[in-house]
Structure 1
Amino acid sequence: MIKTLILIVIIGFSSVASAQDKSDSLKQKSIMGIKEKFPRTRILNFEYDQSLSRNFDSEFFDETFQEGDIKSQRNFNASANIPIYKTRKWGLTGSINYQFSEFKFDNIETTDVTVFEQNGIVNFHNFSTALSSTYFSTLFKKPVIYNASLIVDGNDNGFERIKGLIGLSFIMKRTERTTMTLGGIVFVDPTSQIPFFPTFSYSHRFKNSKWELDFILPQRLLLRRFVGDNGRFSIGSSFGSTGFYVNVDNPDFAEVFEYSQLEIKSGIIYEHRLNDYLITTLQGGLQNFISNRLTEKGEPTQDFIYKNNQNATGYFQVGISIDPFAKRN
């Protein structure tokens, strides 16, 4: 849920490069552009992804721990974003998200202490809900989006934490083919490694070409082009994360931990609009794992008790979005 809200702040107005009209139209175009770029911001979105087999080794309290094979990792994500109230300049949106994660492990030697890796299949169910307020205004005579969000999450064992973020994004440059935005995000979360970071986006459509560059720091770098009237092809890399709560049944440890997996996915993406309201997405390529840590709930992630290293592997993802307001002009 936090990842989706961060994307909304980062993208800002990067889709309105050619817009020179009134503020109402700017606001509408910015909302449409966010939904075009990020499926999880649409009314309904469903995604399934699977990464292939790879080896891993791990450390527990800085000591060599288990090693073995992750035969597969499967994730299913369902999200809904429901507009609650809106005026010309202000909007309130409620969001809910469900994430299912499944790991299949093999060749792991049994130890006295088990984190969550064990031979066979292990799965996790996580839920989150958010209330997000967005305000459209101007700053230094330029359009700007302000966003404040409150997030509540947990798993199938109950409620776990409350988090929040505050952000803004405004246009530094806007021409017929180029848009550059700058912004920032503040996390209302004591576990965040970086309480504040700047955001930047750069979108450029090449002259006399169907290709465009889409760069959003720190989220992705893509080259993309439309294919026919209803398709869009992209190639490049994106940075993302997978996280969930882990309940530990051991009197020597806390009851609940948070697992955080940071990753870079590189490959190709194809999006196809089936009709005005249905959009499908297919993607696949190489997945590199940057950081995989287990931390006691509510503690800073740098105070992790466990980490693992995973080899790069292949992945694929399919998705479908339903949004009656996502029609491309």
Structure 2
Amino acid sequence: MIKLAILIVLFLTSVFGFSQQTPDSLQKQTAIIIKEKFPRARILNFEYGQSLNRNFNSELFDEVFQEGDIKTQRNFMASANIPIYKTRKWSLTASGNYQFNEFEFDNLSNTSATNVFEQNGIVDFHNFSTALSSTYFSSLFKKPVIYNASFIADGNDKGFERIKGLVGLSFIMKRTERTMITLGAIVFIDPTAQIPFFPTFTYSHRFKNSEWEMDFIMPQRLLFRRLVGENGRFSIGSSFGSTGFYVNVESPGFGDVFEYSQLEIKSGITYEHRINDYLIGTFQGGLQNFISNRLTEKGEPTQDFIYKNKQDVTGYFQVGVSIDPFAKRKT
């Protein structure tokens, strides 16, 4: 759910390039284009992803722990976003998310009897979250600005765990016929965030006399895109993302609940196809590069992690379908 809130804040300002600067039109266009850009912001969204075999090695308390193979990592995500209140300048949205992660380990060489995260065979994790997000439309320095605050409660199949939050704002810096530049910032109300604060910057450019356009959203993605026929869109590039879930540890001398945080860069292709007015299918595939993989006791800063692992680059694919019963075909 944190990931969805980040995506929305990152892209809020880009709608200014396509709307009038009145609260009503800005708010309507915000909803339309965010859903078009980010499937997880639609009313209903379902995704299944799988990364392929790779080697890994790990450390526990800065000591060599294990090495072996992750034969595969599977994940399934289902999300719902329900608007519950809206005025000319303010909107409130409730969201729910379920995330399933499954690792299949093999050929583990364990230098310790401690069972923290890895074990031969299949290990799976079920996590749930709900969020309440508030968005306010205003102006700053005579330019349209959007403020966003999100509060998230999450847990796993063992029970409720934590409350988190973030605040952000974004506004336009420059807009021409083919180019737009925006600036913003996000602050996390969460001591466990690996990146507690970062500025956001977007640069969108449609190349002259070309079907291609560039879409850069710092720090989330760099894509080159073009339309394919009447109902398709093809993209190539890289995106930065994260995977996180709770891990219940049953080893003596350890806390009961830990948080696993995985930062990654995915590079490859994406194809989106509008099946009808309300249904959009998506396929992604390419290479997955793991930047940081840490296990931290629940509620503690990520720099105080007890466990980390390094994983080789591997291939991945992801398929998804999103449903927006209130959508109309975009022209």
TM-score in terms of structure 1 length? 0.97
User: In the aligned structure 1, how far is the partner of 2:184 from the partner of 2:309?
Assistant: 33
User: In the aligned structure 1, how far is the partner of 2:324 from the partner of 2:72?
Assistant: 31
Match of 2:130 in 1: 129
Deviation of residue 109 (structure 1)?
Answer: 2.9
Please give the root-mean-square deviation of Cα atoms over the aligned residues, in Å: 1.2
Q: Is the 8 A contact 1:244 1:260 kept in 2?
A: yes
1:290 and 2:270 matched: no
Match of 2:165 in 1: 164
Query: Using a 3 Å threshold, how does the CA distance of structure 1 residues 287 and 58 change in structure 2: closer, same or farther?
Result: same
Deviation of residue 9 (structure 1)?
Answer: 0.8
Match of 1:55 in 2: 55
Q: Please list the CA deviations of residues 124-150 of structure 1 after superposition, one character each: whole Å capped at 9, or x if unmatched.
A: 000000000001111111111110111
Query: Using a 3 Å threshold, how does the CA distance of structure 1 residues 206 and 326 change in structure 2: closer, same or farther?
Result: farther
Amino acid at match of 1:210: E
Matches of residues 95-244 of structure 1 in structure 2 within 5 Å? Answer: 95-110=95-110, 111-244=112-245
User: In the aligned structure 2, how far is the partner of 1:303 from the partner of 1:48?
Assistant: 32
Matches of residues 1-16 of structure 1 in structure 2 within 5 Å? Answer: 1-16=1-16
Deviation of residue 55 (structure 1)?
Answer: 0.4
Amino acid at match of 1:112: A
Is the deviation greater in 21-30 or in 226-235? 21-30
Deviation of residue 34 (structure 1)?
Answer: 1.0
Q: Please list the CA deviations of residues 173-210 of structure 1 after superposition, one character each: whole Å capped at 9, or x if unmatched.
A: 12221111111111111223443221111111111111
User: In the aligned structure 1, how far is the partner of 2:155 from the partner of 2:4?
Assistant: 17
User: In the aligned structure 1, how far is the partner of 2:196 from the partner of 2:236?
Assistant: 31
SS for the counterpart of 2:108 is coil
Amino acid at match of 1:204: H
Amino acid at match of 1:187: F
Matches of residues 73-88 of structure 1 in structure 2 within 5 Å? Answer: 73-88=73-88
- Gap regions ≥5 residues in structure 1: none
Match of 2:247 in 1: 246
Query: Using a 3 Å threshold, how does the CA distance of structure 1 residues 207 and 325 change in structure 2: closer, same or farther?
Result: farther
Q: Please list the CA deviations of residues 92-126 of structure 1 after superposition, one character each: whole Å capped at 9, or x if unmatched.
A: 00000000000001001344101121110000000
1:262 and 2:228 matched: no
User: In the aligned structure 1, how far is the partner of 2:147 from the partner of 2:327?
Assistant: 22
Deviation of residue 19 (structure 1)?
Answer: 3.5
Q: Please list the CA deviations of residues 280-323 of structure 1 after superposition, one character each: whole Å capped at 9, or x if unmatched.
A: 00010000000000000000001100000000000000000001
User: In the aligned structure 2, how far is the partner of 1:296 from the partner of 1:276?
Assistant: 45
Q: Is the 8 A contact 2:61 2:306 kept in 1?
A: yes
Is the deviation greater in 251-260 or in 171-180? 171-180
Q: Is the 8 A contact 2:46 2:321 kept in 1?
A: yes
SS for the counterpart of 2:30 is helix
Amino acid at match of 1:61: F
User: In the aligned structure 2, how far is the partner of 1:175 from the partner of 1:128?
Assistant: 40
User: In the aligned structure 2, how far is the partner of 1:58 from the partner of 1:153?
Assistant: 27
User: In the aligned structure 1, how far is the partner of 2:186 from the partner of 2:145?
Assistant: 14
Query: Using a 3 Å threshold, how does the CA distance of structure 1 residues 52 and 322 change in structure 2: closer, same or farther?
Result: same
TM-score in terms of structure 2 length? 0.97
Deviation of residue 21 (structure 1)?
Answer: 6.1
Amino acid at match of 1:107: N
User: In the aligned structure 1, how far is the partner of 2:237 from the partner of 2:196?
Assistant: 28
Amino acid at match of 1:108: L
SS for the counterpart of 2:113 is coil
Indicate the percent of aligned positions where both proteins have the same amino acid: 78
- Gap regions ≥5 residues in structure 2: none
Amino acid at match of 2:88: R
Query: Using a 3 Å threshold, how does the CA distance of structure 1 residues 282 and 199 change in structure 2: closer, same or farther?
Result: same
Is the deviation greater in 180-189 or in 98-107? 180-189
SS for the counterpart of 2:17 is coil
Amino acid at match of 1:214: D
Query: How many pairs does the alignment contain?
Result: 329
Q: Is the 8 A contact 1:278 1:323 kept in 2?
A: yes
SS for the counterpart of 2:109 is coil
User: In the aligned structure 2, how far is the partner of 1:129 from the partner of 1:11?
Assistant: 21
Q: Please list the CA deviations of residues 41-88 of structure 1 after superposition, one character each: whole Å capped at 9, or x if unmatched.
A: 000000000000000001111111100000000000000000000011
Amino acid at match of 2:67: E
User: In the aligned structure 2, how far is the partner of 1:240 from the partner of 1:143?
Assistant: 28
Deviation of residue 15 (structure 1)?
Answer: 3.7
Q: Is the 8 A contact 1:231 1:272 kept in 2?
A: yes
**Which consecutive segments of 4 or more residues in structure 1 shift more than 6 A?**
none
